[in-house]
Chain A
């Protein structure tokens, strides 16, 4: 799986948008970009994924650059419960390589 690079940490104010960047300059054409998060003492939680088009769901938006070498996860209105470690992962979709390879992620702290 392609390696991803994320800042170690960031913070944002409650109610504001949180923009979490991720670099994946060696991504292959058949690899998707996934975002998971892990709230303290819980298992990871899927957020969103995409291939090349921007994606939006009830939790977040994923913006992928045209060259696919980087992406940004956007939490439009961060709440205190969004404080967690966010993992950006790139991987092929199916088969024997579908395991997730987690890096260190970015710790998002949402302040009141």
Chain B
């Protein structure tokens, strides 16, 4: 079946512009995660959605970052007034949730802020 998809695959923007990154999770997966990976670094957790519960936003680095998940499916990560340090690969993952649910990752969106 279809895996996690993300769009766009690459995004180049100018400093100060807003960007939106999209994630389509696997159908039926109730949990959705956003991570980012800066060049040569490990993955950094950003935000987590589980069903209708309030999202865990503890990983968002600043108030310029926000995310929503509409209808329990598609999610959008928005970065306002982008800065050069926002350049990274943004990865989305989904899981069934529940006991020990493995996470399935999408291919990521490579964001470059000039």
Listed in ascending order, the chain A residues whose CB lies under 8 Å from chain B are 32, 34, 42-46, 49, 51, 87, 93-96, 98-105
A43 adjacent to B56 (CB under 8 Å):
no
B48 adjacent to A42 (CB under 8 Å):
no
Docked Cα-Cα span, A103 to B44, in Å, equals 9
Segment touching A, from B14-22, B69-77, B80-88, B97-105: B97-105
A45 adjacent to B105 (CB under 8 Å):
yes
Q: What's the minimum C-beta distance from A51 to chain B, rounded to whole angstroms?
A: 8
Chain B residues touching A, range = 20 to 34
Contacts A43-B107, A102-B44 known; 17 new A-B pairs at CB < 8 A: A43-B4, A43-B91, A43-B93, A43-B106, A44-B91, A46-B102, A49-B100, A87-B42, A93-B100, A94-B97, A94-B100, A96-B48, A98-B48, A98-B95, A98-B101, A100-B43, A102-B43
Name B99's contact: one of A93, A100, A102 (CB within 8 Å).
A93
B56 adjacent to A96 (CB under 8 Å):
yes
Q: What's the minimum C-beta distance from B45 to chain A, rounded to whole angstroms?
A: 5
Chain B positions within 8 Å of A93 at CB level: 99-101
Q: Which of B17-56 contact A (CB under 8 A)?
A: 31, 33, 35, 42-45, 48, 50, 56
Docked Cα-Cα span, A94 to B48, in Å, equals 12
Given A94-B99, A98-B31, A99-B33, does the pair A44, B105 have CB atoms closer than 8 Å? Answer: yes
Q: What's the minimum C-beta distance from A33 to chain B, rounded to whole angstroms?
A: 10
**B8 interface contact, C-beta 8 A:** no
Chain A positions within 8 Å of B35 at CB level: 100, 102
Of A43, A49, A95, A96, most B-chain CB atoms within 10 Å: A43
Docked Cα-Cα span, A104 to B101, in Å, equals 22
